Amino acid sequence: MSDAHGGRNTGFVGFGGAMIWQRRMVLCIGVLVFTAGCGSNTTKTPELAAESEMDDRQYLLERIDDVSIAQIYADGFSALPLRQKVLVWHLYNAALAGRDIYYDQRYAHGLEMREVLEEILTHSNRLGAETRDAIHRYTKLFWLNTGPFNNLTARKYVLDIDPAAFQVAAHAAAEDGAIFPLKEGESLDDLLTRLEPMFFDESFDPIVTNKTPVDGSDMLLSSSNNLYDGVSMEDVASFDEQYPLNSRLVKREGILQEEVYRINEDGRYANQLREVVRHLEAAVPFATPEMAAALNALVQWYRSGEPTDRRAYDIAWVADQSSPVDTINGFTEVYMDARGAKGAWEALVYYVNQEKTAAIQTLADNAQWFEDHMPWDPRYRKEGVLGITANAIDVVVEIGDAGPITPIGINLPNDQSVRESYGSKSVSLSNVTEAYERSRPDAYRNEFAWDDDEAARSAEWGSFAGELTTNMHEVIGHASGQLSDSLQGNPQAFLKEQYSALEEARADLVALYFIADPKLVEIGIVDAEHHEDIIGAEYESYTRNAILQLRRVREGAQIEQDHMRNRQMVVHWLMDNTDAIEQRSREGKTYYVMVDRNAFRDGVGTLLAEVQRIKSEGDYDAAYTLFESYGIHFDPTLRDEVVQRVSQVNVPSYTGFVMPKLEPVVDSSGEIVDVIITYPQDFTQQMLEYSGKR
């Protein structure tokens, strides 16, 4: 499972809902999903903030309509021991070697279309600027989304020029030396005619994954991905599928066949997988014994394609809990398949961010201290509480289903039987969320801050405070508290539809309460001199979010999503019951202004005690009243104002990333003596390089 981005500081509220930019399933289950799980996920260490050189570097590279492109940085890479750098280098090549698989899975014509576009772009001397720009713009979207379908809406988007102008451009490129992917006996005009509906017709193959066809059509036949060819749900129902995760199902002369993704004569993607395996095998000697076992198991699965080998790989991968470098490489997430069976190929290579992982571990190690100091009735305090841990990681490269558009949190493997018997691994992608946070327009932050001080605090400490709060929410929030002796059974059964929002509120309140505790300084998670700013930044951001998040509910005057209800409830309860927050207006704009940190924290403690009581006692009526009063209903006039202000500051719908680039330094004997990391800051250049055009 993987989680889409949900930076709370800007009003994203985790997952579920219109602003989710990924097609991936998103969830907050507290236990399995780490930082990404329940809200914001941002990263900025005090050290980083102190280094102006890093502060000034470029995160946001360009905007295409409502899309941002940002650079990912992996600062820790250079400090890795050589052996780990070389390991990453081979895994990076294994990732790049599989890139075309996902293009093909996502659309049968995807690779051909990409080739046409890239050949025109790299032979564009004779093209008029207008035509070239239109093609370039479309190609960027094509690279970002790995084909002609928008990753948010699953809908097709088309090339916005005249087909005739495209034809002229292709011929001009051909005269400049472009080589097009012609089939046997095909002319360039034949090729362009054949691909015309793919490039220009919105109604041809209109949707990549159609899970809920409105017109009663078949969800596989009406999905335009290449996981099936001519196969309906009815066909599948009576078919004995041997390779549900790693095959394409095709219907030939009325007979279903599985084209298995594996390395043998008739294996689909055999050529790409052979290259992937070559690099994986080169990586093995540099891996820890646990990781080497996992890599060998992966190679075996790519060779045989057998589900038993996939399971062996999952088990070996989960068993490796401590290697400083790791990779995810395989047919993994099933969100692209309307049936939820076929795995999309992806690869990520990353190393553990030791400093951030240590901070998470420190919180977990002190879980009992926090429990003993919870501001609720001692009867609801738990003995022997264990914090929840996960690794904070920095990615070096993400390919296929994982890039250029990436998740921010991942929990694998997906095989439930492996999870139950062997556990799982959770990672939170620190440098990805950092890039998200730092690539956001300042105007967005500033628009809702009352004054320059608040905006400056947010710019400097918002990310750090947000990440810390999210960590506490997950590590000590959800894990805390116990039920009343008199409550028989699961509180979920008593609290019903109020349960999730209440539980999210509880975890948020734990974080908001303890972020202001000197204990954080004592255990070394925050610096004493910055603690006040961090508290202020977090309380202000949490407060602002209550109006900001209204932009996501464009219809009606009621909030449905649990995380949003929770955050509305907390802020409006504080507004009604404390002097911590004032509603102000200036020039027709509304602001929620956090004016008193102590009152905020005291209020949070009081509310947290009540929320815990409600959970521990299963008090449905109290939960109902709390959310009815503060969490569900809002003023649509305020929402309309927020929507308008947000659109003026041009918030991106989604973000794609330029990955770091690695290059080996080789001595005269051919030995790799170092691996250099650089940051290309040029999306087009990187995509062309990946395609072998530069």
- Count the residues of the shown chain that bind Zn ion, applying the rule CB under 5 A: 5
Return the residue nearest Zn ion (CB atom): 38
In terms of CB distance, is 310 or 615 closer to Zn ion? 615
> Considering only CA atoms, which of 519, 546, 516, 522 is closest in space to residue 534?
516
Name the minimum Å distance from CB 91 to Zn ion.
Answer: 32
Fill in the DSSP letter of residue 285: G
- Looking at the Cβ atoms of 399 and 546, the one nearer to Zn ion is 546
Nearer to Zn ion by Cβ, of 28 and 36: the residue is 28
Nearer to Zn ion, 226 or 470 (CB): 470
Is cis: bond before 206, omega within 30 of 0?
no
Smallest separation (angstroms) from Zn ion to the CB of 503? 7
Residue placing its CB nearer to Zn ion in the complex, 344 or 604 = 604
Question: Which helix (H) or strand (E) element contains residue 251?
Answer: strand 247-252
Angle at 324 between CA 319 and CA 326, to 5 degrees: 60
Q: Which CB sits closer to Zn ion, 472 or 626? A: 472
- CB of 656 closer than 8 Å to CB of 436: no
Could you tell me the end-to-end alpha-carbon distance of the chain, in angstroms, rounded to an integer?
34
Helix (H) or strand (E) holding 650: none
Q: Which CB, 30 or 76, lies closer to Zn ion? A: 30
Reading the block at residue 513, the tokens are 């309460």
Please report how close the Cβ of residue 577 comes to Zn ion at its closest, in angstroms. 23
Q: Which one, 112 or 504, has the nearer CB to Zn ion? A: 504
Residues in CB range of 599: below 8 A, 6 or more apart? 578, 579, 580
Nearer to Zn ion, 394 or 508 (CB): 508
x/- map, 36-75, Zn ion, by CB under 5 A: --x-------------------------------------
In angstroms, what is the minimal distance from the CB of 506 to Zn ion?
A: 9
Look-up of token digits 């099933």: 334
- Count of CB atoms situated within 10 Å of the CB of 166: 23
CA–CA gap between residue 78 and residue 440 (Å, rounded): 26
In the bound state with Zn ion, the residue whose beta carbon lies nearer, of 11 and 403, is: 11
Compute the least distance from the CB of residue 478 to Zn ion, in Å.
6
Q: How far is CA 548 from CA 542, 564, 658, in A?
A: 10, 11, 28
| Cis amide prior to 407 (ω within 30 degrees) | no
Taking the complex as a whole, how short is the minimal distance between the CB of residue 402 and Zn ion, in angstroms?
Answer: 23
Question: How many Å separate Cα 372 from the centre of its chain?
Answer: 34
Sequence-distant (≥ 6) Cβ neighbours of residue 414 within 8 angstroms: 1, 332, 333, 334
Which residue's CB is nearer to Zn ion, number 95 or number 608?
Answer: 608
* Smallest distance, Zn ion to C-beta of residue 490, A: 17
DSSP label at 473? I
Provide the mask over 458-497, with x wherever binding to Zn ion is found by CB under 5 A and - wherever it is not.
----------------------------------------
Site string for Zn ion, 490-529 (x = CB under 5 A): --------------x--x----------------------
**156 three-class SS:** strand
Answer yes or no whether residue 626 interacts with Zn ion by CB under 5 A: no
Mask for 13-42, x = binds Zn ion (CB under 5 A): ---------------x-x-------x----
Closest CA to 40 of 560, 577, 621, 472: 472
Query: What tokens does 356 get?
Result: 């951030």
Q: How far is the CB of 13 from Zn ion (least distance, A)?
A: 11
Instruction: Write out the H or E segment, with its range, that includes residue 420.
Output: helix 416-422
Tally the residues of the chain: 694
Four-CA torsion 675, 676, 681, 683, nearest 10 degrees: -30
CA distance 16 to 267: 37
Least Å from the CB of residue 365 to Zn ion: 21
Q: How far is the CB of 469 from Zn ion (least distance, A)?
A: 11
- In angstroms, give the least distance from the CB of 33 to Zn ion: 8
Pattern 103-142, binding to Zn ion, x per CB under 5 A?
A: ----------------------------------------
Q: Give contact residues for Zn ion (rule: CB under 5 A).
A: 28, 30, 38, 504, 507
